[in-house]
Structure 1
Amino acid sequence: MLSSVHASRLEVAGDLLSLLRDTTTEPRTDTQLEALTLAVAADLPVLLWGEPGIGKTAALQQLAEALDLPLTTVIASVHEPSDFSGLPVVGDDPAAQGVPMAPPDWAVRLARGGRGLLFLDELSTAPPAVQAALLRLVLERRVGALRLPAGVRIVAAANPRSSAADGWELSPPLANRFVHLQWRHDHDVVVRGLGGTWPRASLPWLDPERLPEAVTFARRAVCGLLTARPDLVHRLPNNEAHRGGPWPSPRSWEMALCLTAFATAADASKDALSMLVRGTVGDGPGLELLAAMDRMDLPDPEALLADPATAELPQRGDLRQAVLDGVVAAVRKRPEKERWDAAWALLVRALETGAPDLVVVPASTLAALRRPDWKVPAAIERLAGVVSLGRKADEVAARVAG
């Protein structure tokens, strides 16, 4: 009688737990989730960095459910190197057949299923020997003699060394194989989720018609930057902690190129793309790549000189400055009276639609390009006050500095 009463009470407790686990999802802008799903779609290994208890594991569980992928969780720190490199199995004739490396059961299940989400948790607490064994798994998708199918995606999670129990810095070879995403909790998302509604994870929709354009854009951006900055092709950080994060190498630049193409084809947000490229090649090189992409979208100086009356200039100050500098450079390269006049018309348009200080340097440079037989256009009168004020400000600044 007593046991049946206890069983009944446990059933009621189970019902309550079921109600607590009963949650729904909703479409919601979430940059972290957008970046994560883009990297998963691109079939690149992702490493989520974040303090304990902020929901990294929960995010992976929701992602697996939303993408209808079986989730396999492996706690890296409690495994031996042989759990990833395989256990030797001696056959009937080792001299003739060799000694195969048997994979663990979780790898066999993933291979049989043909698809799934492999979650490597607590990566930063795995000792160096285990990290070394993980290299082949992350890069080649091999566990012992078994190769994981293409339908398996790999996501890992790690805590910063300062908050990890007996934590280790990631080895540079292993760190350079991941897209590193900093995972932070969003107050609104947490409150809404505890209320029963979490953001919905979904794979990005890639526009089939934009695929060739996306590849071309990504290659132009990455190759253009590395042509101008060859020192960024490979730069191993001197600091041990930085070596365990994202840093530029041919491998990580290839990942950045792939993610740029996916983000372009999916029309992803710039914030998500920023997280991804900085998570592959590091903050400095990543920001340089983003700036190079912005410059690629700038209007052609020759097109602006051909029709200055209808020119559309960027609203962002740095981009507008780059456009005006490009126009002046184009006139310097081929100085003609008509082009010189058109450049002055563009500067007037910039003065009327943006910050006056942005035209000071281009106007001064353009004035210096005047030939003796060129008449001064009337447009210069509208800019004279701005240029003179700019010069006076420079003189005052020079006197103060002196």
Structure 2
Amino acid sequence: MAAPAVIRQALATAVSADLPVILWGAPGTGKTSSVVALGAAAGLPVEVVVGSIREPSDFSGLPVLREGGTWFAPPRWAERLAAGGGGLLLLGELTTAPPAVQAAMLRVVLERTVGDLVLPPEVRIVAAANPPGQAADGWDLTAPLANRLIHLDWTVSADDIAEGFASGFPVPEFDLKDAAGPAETAAARSAVGAFLRVRPELVLAVPDTPERAGRGWPSPRSWDMAARAFAACEHAGAGEAVLAELVLGAVGEGAGFELLSWRRDLDLPDPATLLADPGARLPDRLDRLHALLGAVAAHVRSDGGADSWERAWTVVARVAHTAPDVAASAARSLARSRPEGARLPTTMLELAPVLRAAGLLR
């Protein structure tokens, strides 16, 4: 069980990265008050929407006639978030919401859409739930809704509670960071993609019981959340414990532990260092080559310079001698990001078979 401080930091990192997250914990453990404190720390107004007292129309919109057509009118809480330009939406008591209400929440969590109103991109989503056995008339979380969230187990410390009774409960503190950039996110996605080439059976593994389907499990969507969590943790300098909570919360323990173990064993050279010395030693394993070339392509896109783009082709050419399939994947990525004024390097002549396999030559 992770320490409360680790869970708080994982929650703050997820909110900073715009990753929808759900806090699982027993009643009366301060989930709602902590989320309200997080909103205050982030300077975001908080709207608390409790699932047990809502109808599907509170999320899908109430149909009304408007200008000769039907308008799915959003509820007031959504209008307030839209008018404020952003905020933190807390979906409380999720396991007291029946399946019909959970189904209506799907577009809210994934697309930030309530009825015919699209919420601003600055709206962040946090949910809270008691385990179904501890909730009033509890329901398991439906698999589609569970797969849209990162699942964190909310914990409390007996020492903290005892100290709070003795001297008062302090407002929880949250260390909020800015979001990772596009290059960092692209590099993390490339690394996760390289892992899934090694373990393709983990791309999609729908659980076989409602209980397991109601928590984190592997799908393309949850792998993308795991990649974004990687980027956010790298950018914020979060520790391994925080990263583990977010990755396991996205794709489940089995798949998540495999990804974390694989990542620790990568030991890849820095893309900038490799481009400065294209003759540097390359990894032997295919999965490491995939991860390395993905990181190089992400670095080149971020750099935007013609020199970096041209140097990257030298690395691709070296890989092509031993792993043409890996080189072809990187070639497609580089070809899409050619900077203005970049010359086609002479090494591309050696890559004709690879470029043809990548669909870049006829």
On whether the aligned pair clears a TM of 0.5, the verdict is yes
The SS at the match of 1:99 is strand
- How far has the Cα of 1:187 moved from its partner? 2.5
- Match 1:103 to one of 24, 49, 74: 74
Structure with the larger helix share: 1
Structure number with larger C-alpha Rg: 1
1:189-228 equivalent positions in 2, closer than 5 A? 189-194=160-165, 195-196=167-168, 197-204=170-177, 212=183, 214-215=184-185, 217-228=187-198
Decide whether the 8 Å contact of 1:189 with 1:199 is kept in 2: no
Match of 2:255 in 1: 285
Distance 1:127 1:294, change over 3 A: same
Decide whether the 8 Å contact of 1:121 with 1:156 is kept in 2: yes
The yes-or-no answer on 1:178 pairing with 2:153 is: no
Match of 2:340 in 1: none
The yes-or-no answer on 1:51 pairing with 2:26 is: yes
The SS at the match of 1:169 is coil
The yes-or-no answer on 1:87 pairing with 2:58 is: no
- How far has the Cα of 1:198 moved from its partner? 4.0
Unaligned runs of 5+ in 2: 271-284, 286-362
Decide whether the 8 Å contact of 2:48 with 2:92 is kept in 1: yes
1:1-400 equivalent positions in 2, closer than 5 A? 30-91=5-66, 93=68, 98-194=69-165, 195-196=167-168, 197-204=170-177, 212=183, 214-215=184-185, 217-297=187-267
Length-normalised TM-score, structure 2: 0.70
- How far has the Cα of 1:107 moved from its partner? 0.7
Number of matched pairs: 268
Distance 1:216 1:99, change over 3 A: closer
- How far has the Cα of 1:61 moved from its partner? 1.5
CA distance in 2, matches of 1:207, 1:246: 23
- How far has the Cα of 1:207 moved from its partner? 7.9
CA RMSD of aligned residues (A): 2.3
The residue identity in structure 1 corresponding to 2:70 is V
Distance 1:34 1:92, change over 3 A: closer
- How far has the Cα of 1:171 moved from its partner? 0.9
- How far has the Cα of 1:202 moved from its partner? 2.7
CA distance in 1, matches of 2:164, 2:180: 31
Decide whether the 8 Å contact of 1:77 with 1:126 is kept in 2: yes
Distance 1:87 1:299, change over 3 A: closer
Decide whether the 8 Å contact of 1:221 with 1:296 is kept in 2: no
- How far has the Cα of 1:193 moved from its partner? 4.3
- How far has the Cα of 1:238 moved from its partner? 0.5
What are the Cα deviations for residues 299-337 of structure 1, in whole angstroms up to 9, with x where unaligned? Answer: 99xxxxxxxxxxxxxxxxxxxxxxxxx9xxxxxxxxxxx
The SS at the match of 2:127 is strand
Unaligned runs of 5+ in 1: 1-27, 301-325, 327-402
Match of 1:365 in 2: none
- How far has the Cα of 1:298 moved from its partner? 7.3
- How far has the Cα of 1:199 moved from its partner? 3.8
CA distance in 2, matches of 1:164, 1:32: 22
CA distance in 1, matches of 2:67, 2:189: 52
Length-normalised TM-score, structure 1: 0.63
Distance 1:192 1:67, change over 3 A: farther
Match of 1:397 in 2: none
- How far has the Cα of 1:181 moved from its partner? 0.6
- How far has the Cα of 1:66 moved from its partner? 1.2
The residue identity in structure 1 corresponding to 2:132 is R
Distance 1:179 1:29, change over 3 A: closer
What are the Cα deviations for residues 217-262 of structure 1, in whole angstroms up to 9, with x where unaligned? Answer: 5234311210000000000000110001100000000000011011
Decide whether the 8 Å contact of 2:205 with 2:218 is kept in 1: yes
The SS at the match of 1:90 is strand
Decide whether the 8 Å contact of 2:17 with 2:180 is kept in 1: no
The SS at the match of 1:154 is strand
The residue identity in structure 2 corresponding to 1:155 is V
Decide whether the 8 Å contact of 1:189 with 1:198 is kept in 2: no
The residue identity in structure 2 corresponding to 1:83 is D
Distance 1:232 1:69, change over 3 A: same
CA distance in 2, matches of 1:149, 1:298: 38
Decide whether the 8 Å contact of 2:17 with 2:179 is kept in 1: no
Distance 1:77 1:182, change over 3 A: same
What are the Cα deviations for residues 60-90 of structure 1, in whole angstroms up to 9, with x where unaligned? Answer: 1211111121111111111110111011111
